[in-house]
Structure 1
Amino acid sequence: MDDRELLLQQLDNALVNSPVVSEEKLALMMMLCFQLMSSTETHMINMRASDGRTLSLKLEISSVKH
């Protein structure tokens, strides 16, 4: 098992065995993704689920004018 697979297995075990509700688990994973985006100077992540759906996270500046 390589480092990537080991890390994925550890994350999966932590999420599966956690009593935290699913919505909080998703929020945690999104926060981790935003931290990774910041550290890699990336602005968007697309994650494909096994059923074909895509979860997209995008950092952008709000264009709301007051």
Structure 2
Amino acid sequence: MDLEKYSWTQSLQEVNINIPVPNGTKSRFVLCEIKKNHLKVVLKGEPPIIDGKLFRPVKPDDCYWSRG
């Protein structure tokens, strides 16, 4: 599903969220907090891209973010 600031896909086992960032963005400028019931993604100095409650709880230790 394509939204204004990001897109996402989902299967029975996982959800993938793709967030385009400006070229040259270093990983240290990305804040990604994945909690049991909440997801927050921010580029340093910018308003949050995602900051909200999750539909269902997740296991934060099973979640990760990567720079593609």
TM-score normalised per structure 2:
0.28
Larger Rg: 1
- Identify which of structures 1 and 2 has the higher relative contact order when contacts are C-alpha pairs closer than 8 Å and 6+ apart: 2
Greater helix fraction, Structure 1 or Structure 2: 1
